[in-house]
Structures are given as structure tokens and as C-alpha cells.
Amino acid sequence: MLLTVDIGNTTVALAGLSGREVAFACRLPSSRDWTASAWQSALQTALAEQGTRPAALEGAVLSSVVPAITGPVAKGLEALTGKPTLVVGRDTPTGLSLGEYDPSNLGMDRVVDCVAALALYGGPVAVFDMGTATTLSVADREGVFRGGMILPGLQLSLEALTAKAAQLPPIALSPPERVMGTDTEQCMRYGALYGAAGAIEGIVRRVEGELGKLTVVLTGGNSSHVYPLLQTEAHWAPNLTFLGLAEIWKRNMA
């Protein structure tokens, strides 16, 4: 079993993969205060809760958008597994050409998502990863990264709206019962959800105007709320990043 780790701004997501099958998935907080030994302990506890022994792991691969956490997590994984951890960086062979894109501040999670989407669906492909931020990453049929967009995430948008308007309540995301809300809470929630769906639909139309027909893929923690609302054809792939990490592992370590 391969342990795949995706370090995000809010959580560190873990998944155990056997081939393309996800045996388990869980999350830890993206704590900036934990040392490598603290991460080793937290990771060991998380694996034990999933019924997995470190000895059963053939290795670990991780991507990160939080540089301060990357090193401690990687060292914690190596101490746990007794094997080198593949940290996906800008110099890691991924099979995805970055073309003319400036890689100096490119989040590797976007590269990993495109690697998985190309392996699963072919190109051209547009991946919307809906986490703390919503990122769009586009790769063409030749496997070249063409760029994309970065938008405020669903929860971030709602929190900003609540913070700036004293009379607006905190909002928890849940499926809309209709299109238009009949109280303030519903209006905010529906606006965020349908606004995100409408943004995706409009962005896809514009990108298709440049690249032609796209395969659209949604992933990330908030994608489950938006995917059912789309009026454009799309795939929902909640494990996309894990699968991309496994593809990169095979290219480099298998």
C-alpha cells in the first residue's frame, strides 16, 4: 500500500492506495507548530485508527502548498515508514510539461491534479479544486499545462461576507432546497453555492472558446456541494490528488 499525503492550508489529507483503489482516507490539521516527531506520532495514530501498520506501506509521497509544514511532515513520514518520502517539487518528473507557465510560485497540488486527470480522462482537461481557494488548472491533449485561475474558496467567501456585515450570521454549507432563499441564511448559502456553480459554468465556456471541448473535473473538500448544481457535464473525483500522487510515485520510485 502507498501512503499519499496532500498538505493544504487547512488540513493534511492522507490516503492509502492499492493501485487506484483508495483503501482509506483521513485528515489531520495543518499545524505549523508540530515538530517532525509530533507529526510521526500523529501520523502513526491516524494509521492505527485506519487499521494500517507502517510496515504495510511501500512508501509515501506528498505534495504541499504550505512550505513550513513540508519538511516536518516528510521527516515524520520517513521515521514512520523507514523509507524515503517522495516530496513532489518543481524538479520532480511528473510527465506534465509546464509549457510557458512561470513555475516560481505554482502550487504542486495543481500539477498533481492535472497528472491524475490526464491519466483518468485524457486531455484537454479542466480541473477545479475546491478547497480554501478554488483553483482552475488546465492541461491540453498533449499534456502541457496551460494555466488557469485562482478564486476565493466557498467557505472563505462566506466568512469574508460575514466578517464585513455585522447583521449577517455565520453560515454552514449544506445543499440548497431551492434556487432562491427565503431568509438571510438561505440567501447567503444559496448565493455562495449557485455563484460557485455559475462561475464554473461561465469559466468553462470561455476556456472552451480558446481550447475547444474540455473534460471538466471537480475535486476538493467543497466540490461535493457544487457538483450536483452544475448544468454542464463534469466528473466528480474526490480522490483526484491522491491518484495523481500515486501516478508520480510510479514514474519516480516504482
The enclosing H or E element of 137 equals strand 133-139
Which of 109, 129, 140, 183 does the annotation list as catalytic? 109
Rounded to a whole number, what is the distance in angstroms from the first to the last CA of the chain?
12
Residue 140 annotated to the active site: no
Collapsing DSSP to helix, strand or coil, 15 comes out as: strand
Lowest mean pLDDT among 19-33, 44-58, 151-165, 196-210: 151-165
Return the DSSP state at 221: T
Assess whether 108 and 163 both reside in one domain. yes
Task: Give the range of the structural domain holding residue 19, as residue numbers without chain letter.
Answer: 2-87
What's the pLDDT tens digit per position in 30-82?
A: 999 999 999 999 999 999 999 999 988 999 999 998 999 999 999 999 999 99
Is the pLDDT at 226 greater than 80, yes or no?
yes
Of 39, 60, 87, the residue at which a domain comes to its end is 87
C-beta neighbour count of 51 within 10 angstroms: 10
Assess whether 67 and 122 both reside in one domain. no
Assess whether 81 and 111 both reside in one domain. no
76 vs 35: CA distance, rounded Å: 8
Return the DSSP state at 234: -
Count of structural domains, the chain? 2
Average pLDDT over all residues of the chain: 92
Assess whether 208 and 127 both reside in one domain. yes
Assess whether 122 and 172 both reside in one domain. yes
C-alpha pair distances (Å), 139 with each of 33, 117, 212: 36, 9, 12
Assess whether 162 and 231 both reside in one domain. yes
Q: Which one-letter amino acid corresponds to residue 224?
A: S
pTM of the model: 0.88
CATH (domain of 134):
3.30.420.40
The enclosing H or E element of 27 equals strand 21-29
Assess whether 192 and 74 both reside in one domain. no
Of 87, 114, 135, the residue at which a domain comes to its end is 87
17 vs 13: CA distance, rounded Å: 13
